[in-house]
Structure formats: C-alpha cells, structure tokens
Amino acid sequence: MREVNDLFEIERPLPPERSFSRPFWAATREKKLVIQYDRAADAWQFYPRPTSIYSGLRADLEWREVSGRGQVFSFTIVRRARPPFRDHEPYLLAMVTLDEGVNVMSNLIRCPLEEVRIGLRVKPCWQPLPDGRHLLLFEPDR
C-alpha cells in the first residue's frame, strides 16, 4: 500500500478569524460543523462570506449545522511543500462536495493512494488546534 502522510505531528499555521466567520470557528470547539445557509435562495455557501453569494443580502443568511459527509470532488498529491509541511510530503489535498452542495478544501487522511478517487465518500474528522478550536479534515467513510 502506498501511504501518504496524515500530518498529525506537525504544528499547522493557526487560521485567523474574521468578524463574519466567528460562528464557524466557535462551533469547531465542540467539533461541530456549521456553514452558511441562505433562506431566500434555499442554498448553502462555503467558505464563510460577509454576505450571501446568491443575493448580496446579509439578512437571509443563517448558520446551520451539517453532518460534514460528502464525496471527493477533486484531489492532488502534494509532493513539494513549504514549511511546516516540508519533509512531510506526500500528503493529500482535496476538494470535498458536502451533501448540502458546497465544496470544501481540506486534507484527506487515513486514505491510502489506492483508495483515493473522485466520488469517494468521506466523513469529517477534527484535528485539535492549540487554542481549543479544531481543524476540519476528512477521511474515507468506509
């Protein structure tokens, strides 16, 4: 089996928060995934934006919890990286389409190269950050 690195051992760069993305990060403290939903458009959006990508109106936006399950939309095997990821290659980057219909970028872990393919079903897993938040990762939903 050709293995890729799961990157558990590295200290990842801490993501900053913006005024409009705080609910996302607050929910990760409890390993919950919340994403923005536009009631008028009846559609979801990711990454978190300061307004609705559908209408430009903020009033119809709300945060809703989702399962985080989805499938691989596209992926790449990173073989040359910058610190702190350098010397931890190869690892998998993927776009995952959540079942709600939004694309989310993350690392795919616990996934041998033989298994990775477009359409692979995945589920969320949470990597602790030093400040109590968690980083959303995905693994195969076997």
Partner 1 sequence: MALHDSAIVGYAETKIVPKSEVDVWELGAEILEALLQRTGFEKAEIDGLVLSSSSTGAGNIFWSQTTADQLALELDFCQTVDIGGSSPLGAVARASAAIDAGLCETVLCLFADTAVAENNGRPRSYGAEWTTPYGYLGAPNAFGMLSSYYDGYFGLDFQALGKLAVAQRAHAVLNDNACEKLRKPITVEDYLNSRMINDPIRLLDCVMPCDGASGLIMTKRKTVEKRGFGKIAVPVGYGERTNFGAAQSVVDPTVTGHRAAGEKAFAQAGLEPADIASFHPYDDFIIAIMMQLEMLGFCAHGRGAGFIHERDFLFSGDLPLNTGGGQISAGQCGLAGGGTNLVEAVRQLFGEGGARQVKNKANALVTGIGGIPYGRNWNTSTVLILTPDA
Sign of CA dihedral 139, 38, 45, 115: positive
Bond preceding residue 37 cis, omega within 30 of 0? no
Q: Based on the number of CB atoms within 10 Å of its own CB, is 119 exposed (0-12), middle (13-18) or buried (19 or more)?
A: exposed
Cβ distance to partner 1 smaller for residue 32 or 54: 54
Residue of 57, 65, 101, 110 that binds partner 1 (CB under 8 A): 101
Cβ distance to partner 1 smaller for residue 82 or 132: 82
Can you read off the two tokens belonging to residue 127? 């990597």
**Residues from 11 through 30 that contact partner 1 (CB under 8 A):** 12-18, 21
Give yes or no for a contact between 38 and 55, defined as CB atoms under 8 angstroms apart. yes
Q: Does 102 bind partner 1 (CB under 8 A)?
A: yes
Q: For residues 100 and 89, what is the distance between their CA atoms, to the nearest angstrom?
A: 31
Q: Does 81 bind partner 1 (CB under 8 A)?
A: yes
Q: Does 79 bind partner 1 (CB under 8 A)?
A: yes
Q: Does 51 bind partner 1 (CB under 8 A)?
A: no
For the bound state, the minimum distance from the C-beta of residue 79 to partner 1, rounded and expressed in Å, comes to 6
Q: Tell me, what DSSP letter sits at residue 121?
A: E
Q: Does 130 bind partner 1 (CB under 8 A)?
A: no
Q: Does 93 bind partner 1 (CB under 8 A)?
A: yes
Can you read off the two tokens belonging to residue 29? 């403290």
Interface residues toward partner 1, by CB under 8 A = 7, 12-18, 21, 43-47, 53-54, 73-82, 85, 88, 91, 93-95, 97, 101-103, 105-107, 117-118, 135
